[in-house]
Structures are given as structure tokens and as C-alpha cells.
Amino acid sequence: FFFLMIRRPPRSTQGVSSAASDVYKRQVSTQSTWDFQWCQRRSMGKESKSQFSLKKVKQYILVGRAKPVAGQKEEPKVYRMRVFAPNTVIAKSKFWTLMRKQKKIKHTGGELIAIHEVIENPSKSVKVYGIVLRYQSRTGYHNMYKEYRDTNICGAMSQMYMDMAGRHRAREETIHIVRTCVVPESKIKRAETKSFTNGNVKFPLLNRISRPPIKKFKAFARAKRPTLFLQQNNSDS
Amino acid sequence: MCIRDRYQRRVHGDLRNLMGFKRFVQAGRVAYINYGVDHGKVCVIVEVINSTRVLVDGPTLGVPRQVISLRRLALTDHLLKVAKGIHTKALEIVIKKEDLVKKIGESSWAKKLASQKRRAELNDFERFQVMMLKRQKAYLVNKDVAQSHGKKPKKESAKKAQQAKMDNNRIKHHFTLKSHQKKKKKKKKKY
């Protein structure tokens, strides 16, 4: 989560850094302008219907501040935060949790100025997203850097949550996202991600099963035994 | 890749090809979507995301650019020569140039699909016609088989000829119970 003043955030990475940490300092490329005009609701249309979906996590921008107190000389500072959450309710909750922890502004003593969902353009190209996160395990807190291939940041986030749950039994509530970035090919750290970014990647599909084309056609009682082998002309034999 | 590796590869081939696989998930592979909203349509794999998902596009094929699970795809033999991550417009040009739609239509798989679809669309009378034609065909085939096995061809009995004629008539006119019963009797007397 970035806590920045509303005036002007930095538009470029700060100075020279080593290859490893450069990735961590990189700004998210999707946030090219800190303007509310790019937080526009676009019609998802066909894209959302046919989209193969994991747990849907959305990106929100929340802006809030402490309530102005009578007699206070200065206007309270406004803070903007980028939150990944499945809905606005959880997004707001996360916002106030961190406002409380980092800025000492409670929900009761503060006001939410704006909440916008950030909708990225539909899938056009595959990118590698690097996510730095901090999560709580049963014995302590750990930092992690993970890479995921996806077409948008929310997809990568969904992958991350699933991955963390599967590998580390870390639930969504215990994961805090520190930083996200789009990683260029030269800076990819993980071998698996690297192997898939190779343009010549190819593999056959094995262990195929046939299933009815629509869920509606799935029969629960059948007259015949199921066919276990799908006749596919994939090998020379 | 060092020279030794390159030599190895040339001599022994890629392991995947050694195993005899012909169809791969790769950029440019034409695939058939067999589940979901777009099932029945053909698309081109634009980029491999990971071992389970793939970015797919079908500009003139009615498939919007989307991420799809490999579980929903069936690979075909066709492979387009495209770079990974090709844009929709560029892909459209390639598809038109390669005349992909025509090539797919000519494949036996597409023909099978078409015949399956036609079979599902048949009405009751058409199904009856099919049954009649099948029987005629079977008769001719069995006759031919019997001849090739050296059996003496039975003389075309008058009754058989009449039956064949009746079958032909049935295709024109409606099927009646009486004629069916007559035929059953005749069938019993065959051998």
C-alpha cells in the first residue's frame, strides 16, 4: 500500500539501484497518472463472461483523511491508498486498518473521501507481475517476493492468494501486499516464470478427459461406463 | 547453447519430438474450444501463460481475445507461424493469408463435427429415411462380402426384388404397420 500525499507522487524510480532491488522499487506501470480520470468504469461485456476466473480480487483506490477539528490550523492530510479486495466493504476495512496502524486515524475520527475501482483494459498481453508481500505464518511474519504471469494485476493477485493458501496455508487476511510491479523479461527472478516467457515454449497436452461442452449436459446417471481415454491423434504411435 | 548441445539436438532431436508428440501447446497452435461460452469455435493460441492457462484469440473465427484454461482446449494439427503475443489485427491478416477457415473446414474432424450436427438436427421422417438407406446399404455390402468370400450368389428371388422395391417406395411414402408386418414375415423366410 502506498501512502502518498495528494500533491504529486514520484513518477520514476528513485535513482540507481542494484538489479535485485530495482524490481522492488519500480513503480507500477498501470498507474501512469495519479488522476481519477483513469479510474473509469468500462463495460466488461463479453470479456467478463468468457473470462476464466479465479477468486476475483479487485483493485481499489481509496482516499481518506482525518475529520477536520474545530480550532485546528491546518487541514488534515489526505491519504490515498491502493487496495486489493474482492469488494468495497473489505477494501474500506483494509484502508481503515492501515490508517489506524500507520497514521493513527480511526474510522470514527476519519472520513473516506473517495473510493474508485481501478479497471484495467481487457487482456491483450501477458505480463510478469512481481509481488512483494508480508504474511503471518503460525510462528511469525515473513516477507516474500513472488512472480506471476498474467494479463492483469488483479489476475496475478488472485493467483498469489491461491498460491499462498496452497503453499503456506496463509489466508487472505494474513497477507499484506507491500509492492507490486510489472517485471521486464530481463529482470525475472523465478525459473518457472522465466521458462514460460520464452517465446519457444511448447509442451503436449497429456491425460486428456472428455467432458460435455456445457455443464447442463453433464449427466449424473449414465447407461454406459465412462470412457477414460480420449482418442487424440497426438503421437506417432 | 554450446556447440555440443546444438549437435546433440540436431542428431537426437528434441526430447518431446523423440516421444513422438505432434501437437503442442505453443504460440500459433490452432485449437478447438470444447467447453464454455465459446465452445465449438476455433481459436489460435497467442501466448502460453503457464502450464494451465493460455492467451487465445480468434479474430475472424468469432473468439474474443481472452485467457482460457487448457482444459477447455483441444489442439489441432494446424500451426500458424506467429510470434508470441501477436496482436489481434496482425493475427487476422495471418489467418486470412493462410486461409485457416478453409483448411479447418476441409479437415476430417470438421467434417465429422458437421455430420454430427446434421444428425442431431434430423426430424423423425429424416431419421426413418436414414434407417432405410442404411438397410439398403447393408444389404449391398453383405452381398458383396458374401461374393468375395466365395459363396455362390443367391439368385435374386422375386420376393427379394419386391422387397427392395418396397423399400424404395417407403422412402417416398409413409411407413405403415401392415407393410412392416409383411416385411417381418418375409425377413423370417429369408434363410
Q: How far apart are the first and last CA of chain B?
A: 74
pLDDT > 50? residue A198: yes
Flag whether the pTM goes above 0.90.
no
Query: What ipTM was estimated for this complex?
Result: 0.70
Query: For the residues of B61-109, what is the DSSP string, one character each?
Result: TTEEEEEEEGGGEEEEEEE----TT--HHHHHHHHHHHTHHHHHHHSHH
- The edge-to-edge listing of strands for the beta sheet with A4-5 is A4-5, A78-85, A58-66, A110-118
pLDDT band at A17 (very low <50, low <70, confident <90, very high): very low
Compute the nearest-CA separation of A41 from chain B (Å).
19
- DSSP code of residue A69: P
What is the per-residue pLDDT across B19-67, written as a single tens digit (0 to 9) for each? 778 899 999 999 999 898 888 899 999 999 999 999 999 999 999 999 9
Contact B64 A196 (CB under 8 A): no
What is the per-residue pLDDT across B105-160, written as a single tens digit (0 to 9) for each? 998 888 988 999 999 999 999 999 999 999 999 999 999 998 888 765 566 666 66
What is the per-residue pLDDT across A113-166, written as a single tens digit (0 to 9) for each? 999 999 988 768 999 999 999 999 999 999 999 999 999 999 999 999 999 999
Compute the nearest-CA separation of A181 from chain B (Å).
17
Chain A residue with CA closest to B84: the answer is A199
Compute the nearest-CA separation of B98 from chain A (Å).
21
By CB atoms closer than 10 A (0-12, 13-18, 19+), residue A2 is middle
pLDDT > 50? residue A24: no
Contact A151 B55 (CB under 8 A): yes
Residue type, A225: R
pLDDT band at A40 (very low <50, low <70, confident <90, very high): very low
What is the per-residue pLDDT across B81-97, written as a single tens digit (0 to 9) for each? 999 999 999 999 999 99
Sign of CA dihedral B139, B143, B148, B151: positive
Q: What percent of chain A has pLDDT over 70?
A: 73
Helix (H, G, I), strand (E, B) or coil at A183: strand
Which of A115, A112, A127 is closest to A188 using CA atoms?
A127
Q: State the Cα–Cα distance between residues B56 and B39, nearest whole angstrom.
A: 13
The 10 Å Cβ neighbour count of residue B182 is: 13
CA of residue B3 relative to chain centroid, distance: 45
pLDDT band at A38 (very low <50, low <70, confident <90, very high): very low
Residues 6+ apart with CB under 8 A from A46: B64
The 10 Å Cβ neighbour count of residue A228 is: 8
Q: Which helix (H) or strand (E) holds A143?
A: strand A141-150
Candidates B16, B35, B47, B91: best to mutate against A (most CBs of A within 10 A) is: B47
Q: How far apart are the first and last CA of chain A?
A: 55
Ranked by mean pLDDT, the top range of A89-93, A226-230, B165-169, B176-180 is A89-93
Q: State the Cα–Cα distance between residues A233 and B151, nearest whole angstrom.
A: 39
